[in-house]
Structure 1
Amino acid sequence: MTATLEPVDTPGAPPTDQPRPRGFSLPKVRLRHRGGSPLASGIAVLWLSVIVLAPLAAILVASTGNGFAGFWDAVTAPAALASFRISIVVAAVVTVINSIMGTLIAWVLVRDEFPGKSVVNAVIDLPFALPTIVASIVLLALYGPGSPVGIHVQHTQIGVGVALAFVTLPFVVRAVQPVLMELDKDVEEAAASLGANGRTIFWRVILPALTPAILGGAGLAFSRAIGEFGSVILIGGGIPKETEVTSQYIRALIEQDSPVDAAAVSVVLLAVSFLVLLVLRGLSGRAAKRQELDR
């Protein structure tokens, strides 16, 4: 969107090329908004279509290669249902945990001062840069056989959850942190002056303001977790019906030369991820509107 400034004639105002007398105020201006450039809009739509819409359409078409009956058989196979259950349940649990812990970490990074704070702030982004297979190797060395901390969770759903928690934590922290930084402390001080304790201030003032950001970060974390592949390869082991997540099951189908079945399972995974994102974004939008109305 572009905006143009148009001066509104003010009776008695001197010309703009003459010095303003003392006490003279600038003439009022009116903002006139115009639509964006058609070329920019066309480029944006074209890029979105090539990068996102075309691949989605292709996988939808590929998933119906054996007809609806073949699609249904592929997504209701016992191994497929087991992988859906493991992926969705573990991703949901990890999302809830990281929503709580990510908010707490964001709070500490924003409100507390301690030595090494900048280092901790940088480490939060490490899962974004670290190759996921490297994360799996690190987690295996830490929580596999011969664990230096005495915790062995390889080939368990707990191990899968640890890997997913590692790669999804930054999504919540980075979603909550900027909102917390911009939070008006005057409201907290006003509540404290009225006799509210710290717990009441958090639940009645701070948390409602953070809710949209927490839900947005949770949606991104869940979508990443439900489709994660690299970080769970070694720590999870991909044991069918025990630790095999849907992304690993899809790879197994491709290796078995069943690309149509793999596409069908992928469509279900995409649908679940999209539905969760849609619901959480809707809740986030409602929370934001409610927060605006309360101001």
Structure 2
Amino acid sequence: MTDLKYDTEFWGVIGHLIAGAKSPDFDDHVALRMHMEEVSRQLFQHVPRPAGVSETKYDIVSLDGTNIALHRFAPDSLKNATSPQRAVIYLHAGGMIMGSIDMFKPQIENDAVLNEVQFFGVEYRLAPEHPAPAALEDTYAAIQWIQANAKELNVDPARIALMGHSAGGGIAAGTALMARDKGLSPPLARLVLIYPMLDDRTTLESGNVLGKYLTWTSQNNDIGWKAYLGGRERGNRADVSIYAAPGRAENLEGLPPTYLEIGGLDLFKAENIAFAGKLATANNGVEFHLYAGLVHGWDGIAPTIRAFKQAAENRKRVLADF
């Protein structure tokens, strides 16, 4: 017996689209990447672009010497700010295998304007062409570059947050662990994880009722993790780094105060709950939200429902408080 069901408002928005529909199966990252990119393009082409935000692109060098792009989104509301400001380093979604700052630009611009904070989007390298730790090293290099250029960017180097959706949330969490272990100074001020992809060991048994609700399936997860881990099958391996799969970390002491949210119909639900529990056990500051009846990526699918407004208010409050 199960009480799993869609959020009533969410179903009202998308029920006619998904009733009886089956998630397509993919054999490799190429097919999955093409599908996800098309879905994302269709989704974001309808997102209104806000006025009052400017974008600047910087070329920076990752830890292994590779040149990557860092995009700065600065709201006009901060033009006359005389004191150093907060900054958010953002990692986009995409299952570790797809996506770009340009694709997710409408979302990032809206977040910068809504929260009145500079957002820095990292054009992190994608798997399988660039497996872990490439994306982690790109993100860590972005933190270092922003701190080194804080005066010119009008950023307070002690008030930098990492934020990511899905795969980006996993990269953010892994980079936060790397920053802790490398002794980053000043340390990160905040970690904001939106349904993050944290643990390569996550799977779903055949017949599990959750499977019929998944927008990011166990099969998709297998493809994404295999690509990110350099072609290795994901699972109970002993040689996977906690930076690549932060859900494997047992000791989360020393991480910045963390905000974490997940939908109740998401493959990552159990791993997210476990991660929040480890944060609490380590006496870290943690705020956790489980939104019943919502799927992976729900906030991009149904931005008009009450749950979205609640989540937006929570995120705004957290991003104002570091």
Larger strand fraction of residues: 2
User: Normalising TM by the smaller chain, what interval?
Assistant: under 0.3
TM-score (norm 2): 0.22
Whichever of the two has the greater Rg, that structure is: 1
Larger helix fraction of residues: 1
TM-score (norm 1): 0.23
